Structure formats: C-alpha cells, structure tokens
Amino acid sequence: MTQPAANCPNCGAKIVFQWSSSVQTVCAYCKSILVRTDVDLKRVGQVADLPPDSSPIQLNTEGIYRNKAFVVIGRILYEYEQGGWNEWHAMMSDGTSAWLSDAQDEYAVSFAARAANLPPEGKLAVGQQYTWNNERYTLSVITPANYRGVEGELPFQYWDKTRVTFADLRSESGKFATLDYSDAEPALYLGEAVEFDDLKLKNLRQFEGW
Amino acid sequence: MSAGPPSPPRPGPQQQPATPQVKALDCPKCGAAIVLRTFGKAETVVCDSCHSILDAQDPKLKILQTFQAAVGEAPPLIPLGRRGKLRGVDYEVIGFQRRSTEVEGIRYIWHEYVLFNPYKGFRYLTEYHGHWNDVSPCKMLPTPVLSVPPKASYLGETYKHFQTCTAMTGFVVGEFPWQVRVGETAEVTDFVSPPRVLSSEKSENEVTWSIGEYTYGSEVWKAFNLPGDPPQAMGVYENQPAPVHESVSGVWAAFAAFALALLVLMIGFAVMISGNKEVFRASYAVDRNTFKGETSFVTDVFELGDRTCNVEVETSTDLNNNWIYLNYALINQDTGQAWDFGREVSYYYGRDSDGPWTEGSRNDSVVVPSVPPGHYYLRIEPEPPQGFQHIGYSVRVVRDVSVFSIYGLAFLALLLPAAALTWRRLNFERLRWAESDHPMVTTGSSEDD
C-alpha cells in the first residue's frame, strides 16, 4: 500500500496518507483541511477547535472486524439533540474503507452501499420499510444533526457542512442502515451494531480514573 | 513536490485535546458543586441541592428546568458515584430517577439508576419493591408477533406482552445521557420471558428498546459493595424467575420416563415370571360338634420353586353374619423358618331403612414377600366365635403374585412431586400475571387468598 507523503501548504508539516484512496485529510498540526488534487494538496478550510471528546476511540485505534484488521484514520464529528457522535473512518486490511460509528458508546460498523431509489429526505417517516441487499429495514429514528468537524483522512471531501439529516434503520436480524442526507443525493450505509469487546480495540483513549 | 521547509516536529497523531476528566463545576442557581462523571457524554445533569436540571453540554450549565422535590424523597439506594462490577465490567452510578405510573387509581413507583463506563457506555438498573433488573439497550430491533395478547420476538426468544403503561418521571438527580425532565411521560410496554424483560419506550419521535434481566438485590449489593441488606423483594415481579430450579416440563418428562420404566418393569415381571401359580389348595371346616378348643393342624407339604418369590395366602369362607380368626404359620420344612400371621375374616349383611348393607368380606388375602425356595407347609389354627355352628373355609397358596399396589405406590410417589411442582408454578405464574394487563383467569375452583 502506498503512503504518499506531502507537506501541508499552510504550515509545511509533513502530511502522510495512510490510505491511498483518501481524498481529504486534516493537518494534525495546524488543523488545515486539505483536499488532494491530481498534483498537490489544496487547503480548503480550517477545523475549528473540536469540543472535548468522550469517545474511547481515537485516530490510530486498531481493531478487528470480521477477521479483518482495521485502523482508524479519520472521523466526522456530529452533534444532535442527544449529544455528539463520531463516524470514525477506518481503513480495513483489505484496502476498503469502513465506518465505525460511536454514539453514546453504542457501536456500529457500516460500509457505503449502492441502491436505487433511495427515499428523498422529505419523504422519510419512522416505521417505513425498505429492502436493500435482500434485507428488510425499518426506519427507527430520523436525526437532524449538525456537522461539527473532521479529523484525519476521509474517502471524500467533507468540510463545508452545516445541518445534516440522518435516518437510522434496523433490520430484524440486527443489521443496521443509515441514510445520509449530507449531499443532494442521499448516501446509504449498511452495517450492523457491534459489541465493543468484539472489536478487540487497541490504542484506545485513556480515561482518568478508569 | 520537492523537499519543503524544515518541518516542525512530526505531529504525532496522538496529539489530542487534553484528556477529559471528572469535572467539578458549580450549579448556576445555588452554587453547589456539580460533579460530571461521563467525560462529556451526559446531556443533562441535575443539581442535588436545588434540583435544577442543567444542560451538561453547556460549559455554563444552563438551567433547563427546576423542580420541587417532595419532602422525604428517598435517596437512591446506591449512591451516585459508587462503582460496582456488573457482568465483569466496572460501572459507576451517575444518575437516578424515580418514575411512576397510575393503574386503576393506584400509583406504582419504581426507580432507575444510570450506570456508566467510558468504554462500554450506559447501562441501567431498575428497582421495584426490591426486584432489580439489569437493563441495556437492544442492539437489534425486536419483531412484533401478531397474536392476542401481543408478543415480541428478540434474538430468537418470544416475549409475552405484560403491560403497557404511561411512565412519568417524578424525581431526578445526577447525569443522564438524554434530555431528562421532571413531569415528562413515555409509553412503556413490557414483554416478558422470565428472567428477561423486553421493554419499549415510546416518546414523541422515538421508540427505544431495552432488554433487562432479573437480578436479585443481593447480587446488586455484592456488585456495589453496599452495606446492610437489600430491601426485601415484595410479591412476584413480571420477569422474576420461578423459585424452583427444575422446569415443570422437565419434571413431567422425568415422571413420564419413570412411569414408563415402571410399566416396563411391571409387564416384564408379569411376562417373565409366569405368575399366579397355585401351589396349594385345600378346604376345611370347623363344626360345633367336632370343635375342641385346641384345633391347630398342619397342611400337606408344597414346594416353592427354585428362587425367592412372594406368596399369597387366600382364605375363602362361607361366613354368614359371623366372623372367624385364623392363625397362620408358613413354615419351611427344611429350615424351620416360620412366618406367623393372623387373619380375621368377617362378613355381615342385612337391611335397614337405607336399604341393604354389607360389611366385611367372606374372602381374605395376604401376601408374604420374599419367601426363599424350599418345602413348606401351613400350620392353621382357626378361632371361631362363641356359639358358632359350622364355618367352612378353603385355603389357597399362590406364588409370584403381581402386587399392583406397589406399582401404584411408586406411581404416586413419582406423581406427587411433579404435581406439587406444577401447582406451585401455576400459583407463581398466577401471581406474576395478576399484576399484568392479562391476569390469568382461574376457572372452576375458587381460590380465595
């Protein structure tokens, strides 16, 4: 796996991409949001100070999902009515990218999926049912959220967001789906709720007194 | 891209905002210390002194609601800040709420404790009249099962609808991972499959499911190292496991197995041993004219096979409103071993205002168990009543009789525990469901308690 290196156009700090397909990263030093172009890195913005974070996961946290090792290389932080939550961007050992969401210490692993005819945001209602990949999902909650910041590497550009609507769906067999209305076209993520212990996480944040 | 300017020290990805800590802040209303234990995960925190519900996400702890706590509001049984180990994981008690519901004019009150571990998240303990439940959010969506009364299926287990009620929050203290408010209501539905309970909580825009497991107060006390004894559990709780360990169906299965074994044994003996073999028969009589007080006599010798068996001695008489007492001795001619037994045979009959009646029987039978093989004879000494005329009787000796009463006793011995267990379980279930939306209907016998 290539690890293209470059320098931050803002502060000159060395920028190392852990995942070759990353489109965006944040300079760990000056917090500039950097987008990869064909030739270099373009600074598109600056991450405001992130709120104190309570997730036990952090960049470089390692774990195992379905017998594949992964390492956390980035995240998107959202806030909603019930607090904040992280969508941790994980690089799987097979080169694919996954999302490890951590909302109130409830964990789920999901992958970007393609499906036709995703419902538009205005048509969402709790209790609706959709079938994707032969699995029937029931919409359990619609969450209006605020984009709060990003960190590390992401597989797409994601920085000029404000309000974002999410719809969470669950299937009877424990599968989990999220509809992400960040962009004009809804994005679908399919995955499942996971147990913290099953991920065998390493490099976790330390909590004082615990 | 060429080599850039001298780079600053390589920024390690570990360079993170300062580790969050247990924060100590002051209540904006009364100035009392507010301890935050969830590293920023709580939504609301409640001041223990002035009962202000504060925005835990706001650095200034904006006041969201204040409420009046009732005088004599009982403090949490597990104090806030106490840590304990539940199923191998350390949890800290961070919040406590009292909720209640009203059913047919009666208010039912229970308590919920919010537990926190920074890695494992939130967990809950609920307590109602000394009954505890260890509750965590459902990872999967339970499936409704269409039936009357309704059921729900979760992880392959079917839960029966127990109750739907409106739960009102009446008192809160500490931290909560949601926007808690006093006076807020939610529709709570419980489905039970002891020792588990599946609960849904429906608020305006969300349905959340949780799964609870019945936990004994003593376990909670041990987990949190609490002084004294837990409050006594009152009554039978909705998902309380039945106190008897064996399952009722298991006991009946064992009963069926034993009963079958008994039947096989019974038939086996009956078939293998060509039973009811007559070895001796003779008829005698006592007559007033020939009876001379001492009338003991012995019978002819008869042989009892090649193995130990039981022996039935049958007496048949021609008694008419009379009785006779017969002293028997079964004597082994080879060893002299004797079995002595006396039999009274009496038979009366007549007619009164209620019609004909009889009492006693003309015939008698007795079984002598475990008689070794050998040559035997009977010594018989009849004792007729005073003033008798003539009593005829015949004696018959049969070996290898099937003693069904023994099987019957064994059968009863098997049946009783199973029946008792079933009765206890039914009674337990009746008490359990008495508190539900679907009380058991007892038909027939009226059990007033």
Q: Which residues of A touch B177 (CB under 8 A)?
A: 82-83, 104
Give the model confidence (pLDDT) of B422-446 as tens digits.
888 888 889 999 888 888 875 544 4
| Domain spans in chain A, listed from the N-terminal domain onward | 5-46
Closest chain B residue by Cα to residue A79: B57
Report d(CA B12, CA A203) in Å as an integer: 13
Tell me the β-bridge partners of A177. A169, A190
pLDDT bucket at B10, cuts 50 / 70 / 90: very low
> What is the arithmetic mean of pLDDT over B133-148?
88
Provide the pLDDT for residue B290.
83
Report d(CA B271, CA B261) in Å as an integer: 15
Interface of B with A in 172-201 (CB under 8 A): 177-179
Provide the pLDDT for residue B75.
87
DSSP 3-state percent helix, strand, coil across chain A (nearest 5): 5, 50, 45
> Does residue A60 sit at the B interface (CB-CB below 8 Å)?
yes
DSSP A182: S
Provide the pLDDT for residue B17.
42
Interface of A with B in 101-140 (CB under 8 A): 104-106, 126, 138, 140
Distance from CA of A55 to the nearest CA of B (A): 8
Of A193, A78, A88, A196, nearest to A137 (Cα)? A193
Closest chain A residue by Cα to residue B18: A52
Report d(CA B349, CA B119) in Å as an integer: 90
Interface of A with B in 9-28 (CB under 8 A): 11-14, 27-28
Provide the pLDDT for residue B273.
62
Q: Which two tokens stand for residue B392?
A: 């005829």
Mean pLDDT score across all residues of chain B = 86
CB spacing of A208 vs B21 below 8 angstroms: yes
Number of Cβ within 10 Å of residue B196's Cβ equals: 19
Chain A interface, best mutation among B25, B39, B122, by max A CB count within 10 A: B39
Give the model confidence (pLDDT) of B361-376 as tens digits.
999 999 998 899 999 9
CB spacing of B39 vs A126 below 8 angstroms: no
> Does residue B59 sit at the A interface (CB-CB below 8 Å)?
no
Give the model confidence (pLDDT) of A81-106 as tens digits.
777 889 999 999 999 999 999 887 78
Between strands B143-145 and B151-154, the pairing is antiparallel
Provide the pLDDT for residue B245.
61
pLDDT bucket at B255, cuts 50 / 70 / 90: confident
Distance from CA of A20 to the nearest CA of B (A): 17
**Does domain B277-401 bear CATH number 3.40.50.720?**
no
> What is the arithmetic mean of pLDDT over B171-193?
93
Q: Which residues of A touch B42 (CB under 8 A)?
A: 83
DSSP states of B85-120 as a string? EETTEEEEEEEEEEEEEEETTEEEEEEEEEEEETTT
Number of Cβ within 10 Å of residue B83's Cβ equals: 17
pLDDT at A49 over 90: no
Share of chain A above pLDDT 70, in %: 97
pLDDT at A144 over 90: yes
Closest chain A residue by Cα to residue B209: A140
Q: Which two tokens stand for residue B434?
A: 């008495």
Q: Which residues of B touch A196 (CB under 8 A)?
A: 119-121
Closest chain A residue by Cα to residue B39: A54
Report d(CA B273, CA B403) in Å as an integer: 13
Tell me the β-bridge partners of A45. A33
Number of Cβ within 10 Å of residue A131's Cβ equals: 10
Report d(CA B123, CA B177) in Å as an integer: 10
CB spacing of B205 vs A141 below 8 angstroms: yes
- One-letter amino acid at B31 equals G
Mean pLDDT score across all residues of chain A = 90
From B39, B122, B177, residue closest to A207, measured CB to CB: B39
Interface of A with B in 61-80 (CB under 8 A): none
Provide the pLDDT for residue B259.
86
Q: Is the dihedral of CA B6, B9, B10, B11 positive or negative?
A: negative
pLDDT at A51 over 90: no
Task: Return the beta strands (E) in B151-290 as ranges.
Answer: 151-154, 157-176, 185-193, 196-202, 207-215, 277-287
Closest chain A residue by Cα to residue B205: A141
Of B380, B384, B393, nearest to B340 (Cα)? B380
Of B12 and B415, more confident: B415
> What is the arithmetic mean of pLDDT over B123-130?
96
Report d(CA A97, CA A170) in Å as an integer: 21
Provide the pLDDT for residue B53.
95
pLDDT bucket at B271, cuts 50 / 70 / 90: low
> What is the arithmetic mean of pLDDT over B236-260?
83
Interface of A with B in 36-55 (CB under 8 A): 40, 49-54
pLDDT bucket at A4, cuts 50 / 70 / 90: low
Among the residue ranges A72-86, A142-156, B5-19, B241-255, the one predicted with the least confidence is B5-19
Provide the pLDDT for residue A88.
97
Q: Which residues of B touch A199 (CB under 8 A)?
A: none
Report yes or no for ipTM above 0.90: no
Q: Which two tokens stand for residue B128?
A: 């109602």
Share of chain B above pLDDT 90, in %: 54
> What is the arithmetic mean of pLDDT over A63-88?
91
Of A199 and B277, more confident: A199
Interface of A with B in 157-176 (CB under 8 A): 170-174
pLDDT at B1 over 50: no
Of A12 and B443, more confident: A12
Provide the pLDDT for residue A182.
93
Q: Which residues of A touch B11 (CB under 8 A)?
A: 13, 27-29
Provide the pLDDT for residue B289.
86
CB spacing of A105 vs B121 below 8 angstroms: yes
Provide the pLDDT for residue B230.
95
Distance from CA of B129 to the nearest CA of A (A): 30
Provide the pLDDT for residue B370.
86
pLDDT at A29 over 50: yes
From A6, A140, A205, residue closest to B1, measured CB to CB: A6
Q: Which two tokens stand for residue A110?
A: 């999901």
pTM of the model: 0.69
From A7, A14, A58, residue closest to B16, measured CB to CB: A58
Give the model confidence (pLDDT) of B381-396 as tens digits.
999 998 888 999 999 9
Among the residue ranges A48-52, B77-81, B348-352, the one predicted with the least confidence is A48-52
Phi, psi of A158 (to 5 degrees): -155, 100
Of B310 and A35, more confident: A35
